[in-house]
Amino acid sequence: SGKTTLLNHILTSTEHKKRYAIIENELGEVGVDENVLCVPKEEVEEEIVEVVNGCMCCTVRGDLVEALQRMYTKVKNFDGVLIETTGMADPAPVVQTFFVDKNVEPFYELDCVVTVVDAMQIITRLEEEQEDGMKRKEAVEQLAFADKILLNKIDLVTDSLALERIENRIRRINCVASIVRCEYSQVDPSSLLGVKAFTIDRILAHEPDFLSERPQFMKDHRHDTRVSSFSFWEYSEIDVAKLNDWISSLIKEKGAELYRYKGVLAVRGRTEKYMFQGVGPIFAGNFSSQLIWSEGEKRESRFCFIGKHLDWDALRVGFSTCRVEGRFRIGDQVSFELLHNQYLPGKVVDMWQNGCMYQVVLDDYPGSPIDVEDDHDPQLRAFQH
């Protein structure tokens, strides 16, 4: 697909002015080009060697955790570590290492998962079957776990509509990763490194359309029964305790089928936005010190799941159990301010439709329901004679 080409590009580039350590999987047929090493390959005796622009290259022959520990003292002042996995690798164990291993988590922070895609071959790989007739899962999982996807070798696909179809197929699997078209893996290294794509505090800044409610590219296809992404939003506030209980039960039942999930939530009584993310059975959440609900801003909760055999309806229902209870129930009589200081009697006929907390029909105007976005809306109050 071009992974090693990308690494050689980063190692030989003098533009990024940074020092990186490369952990290279030795299963690759072609490794880092010996022309970028400070000494010829035949003279290399250690696993870790310096390359011409001050970076380092490490060939992993054993456990990744051991390699990270062993090289830390040499690279702790570097700008980052790049890990190349084989094209047949399952990304989940590598990603989870940075969250659960006590020998790694205090010293390294996962910055970004990059998947390099061969534009000519990707559709074939996604449809490829194993000997038992089951679809191969490696390509799907590598797309599902990605924060950034490099759609490489686009010069070999001359039909622009074909490229759009390829991108749409990728987005069916992962609707939140950014896709960058390129040739010969030539991309600006600064767009891939030090971007904190795996830190939810900065997701909204980097991805303005993050977790949009069923974006257009998701409306034009049938649901993928194997791996897909599902996102939704609503004007609601969440009870964190209920959220943790729901996610815990979801992990017990479906943990093996959940690849990535992340959200930006409004919590009753807190001005900070609540961010949380998970990888398989590992999840964590916290209140952001940087993202604050401003005065007058509509408080909303946004969520995205990427996984296998996702039951969209069940996820919606499960998330609904985490909401903070409102002032009214379906059937309650209320007063609604149609004009300034003019309140008319009505009834709550539905809840949580169109991303809004209430739908109200006025007694004197029994037409289409009026959407009331949240429980704090001053236009809605208890019924008064």
pLDDT in tens, 212-230: 433 333 333 333 346 777 7
Q: Does the pTM exceed 0.95?
A: no
User: How far is CA 105 from its chain centroid?
Assistant: 20
Q: Please give the Cα distance from 324 to 203 (Å, whole number).
A: 25
**What pLDDT is stored for residue 101 in this prediction?**
78
Q: Are 142 and 91 in contact (CB under 8 A)?
A: yes
**What pLDDT is stored for residue 160 in this prediction?**
83
Instruction: Kindly report which listed range (8-17, 104-113, 321-330) carries the lowest average pLDDT score.
Output: 8-17
Going by pLDDT thresholds of 50, 70 and 90, the confidence category of residue 89 is low
Dihedral Cα 259, 265, 270, 273, nearest 10 deg = 80
* Distance (Å) of CA 248 to CA 99, 211, 242, 255, 344: 17, 22, 10, 9, 44
* Distance (Å) of CA 82 to CA 10, 55, 67, 94: 10, 11, 12, 12
User: How far is CA 259 from its chain centroid?
Assistant: 10
* Distance (Å) of CA 93 to CA 4, 44, 332: 21, 29, 51
Q: Are 61 and 26 in contact (CB under 8 A)?
A: yes
SS3 state at 273: strand
Both structure tokens of 291:
């993202």
pLDDT mean over 46-72: 57
pLDDT mean over 250-267: 82
- Sorted by sequence, the CB contacts under 8 Å of residue 311 that are 6+ apart come out as none
Kindly state the helix (H) or strand (E) to which residue 360 belongs, with its residue range. Answer: strand 356-362
Percentage of the chain with pLDDT > 90? 11
- Does the structure show a pLDDT above 90 at 180? yes
- Which single residue is written with the structure tokens 């005065």? 295
Instruction: Kindly report which listed range (53-57, 176-180, 185-189) carries the lowest average pLDDT score.
Output: 53-57
**What pLDDT is stored for residue 218 in this prediction?**
32
